Amino acid sequence: MKLPRKEMKRARIEIIPMIDTIFFLLVFFMIASLAMIPMSAHHVDLPSSATASLKPLEKAVVTISKEGDYYIDQKKLAGVGEIKPVVASRLAQNPSLVVVINCDKSQQIAKFTQAFDLIKQANAQNVMVATDPQSPLEAAH
């Protein structure tokens, strides 16, 4: 009489937990790498925009802080009148320079408009306004 043999189970590598672990590591390193990128402007509280995007171009960042101070690439200016000559000299070095305006949302529109006019008087062709990205769903509300 022959006794039935039990089948030997083969060892298996479970792939689902491995995929979960790899996905977790991917997300972790993506978030960690964002914290390593320094901003090249004075800290301001930016308004939101549904169409905000990032452009990797050479740029000059003009900042109007909450306190009303003016900066160009984190260098404090004595006043708004210094914007035009500084931007003009940067444009002479690089005519395709992108000028980004960081204006704190608590500032009056008059300060933004004055800075924008001085930048345009310096013959800047590429002027952008910095905003915080906002999802289309948030923009609808």
What does DSSP assign to residue 80?
Answer: G
pTM: 0.56
pLDDT digits 0-9 by tens, 105-121: 888 888 889 999 999 99
pLDDT digits 0-9 by tens, 16-57: 889 999 999 999 988 888 777 665 666 777 777 777 665 556
Residue 54: the pLDDT is 59
CB–CB of 62/77 below 8 Å?
A: no
Question: In whole numbers, what is the pLDDT of the chain averaged over residues?
Answer: 83
Residue 73 lies in a domain: yes
Residue 14 lies in a domain: no
**Count of structural domains, the chain:** 1
Residue 110 lies in a domain: yes
Residue 45: the pLDDT is 78
CA atoms of 43 and 104, how far apart (whole Å): 9
Residue 29 lies in a domain: no
Residue 99: the pLDDT is 92
Residue 34 lies in a domain: no
CA atoms of 4 and 9, how far apart (whole Å): 15
Residue 4 lies in a domain: no
Residue 120 lies in a domain: yes
Q: Which domain holds residue 129?
A: 48-140
Helix (H, G, I), strand (E, B) or coil at 63: strand
Task: Please report, for the domain that includes residue 55, its CATH number.
Answer: 3.30.420
Residue 41: the pLDDT is 61
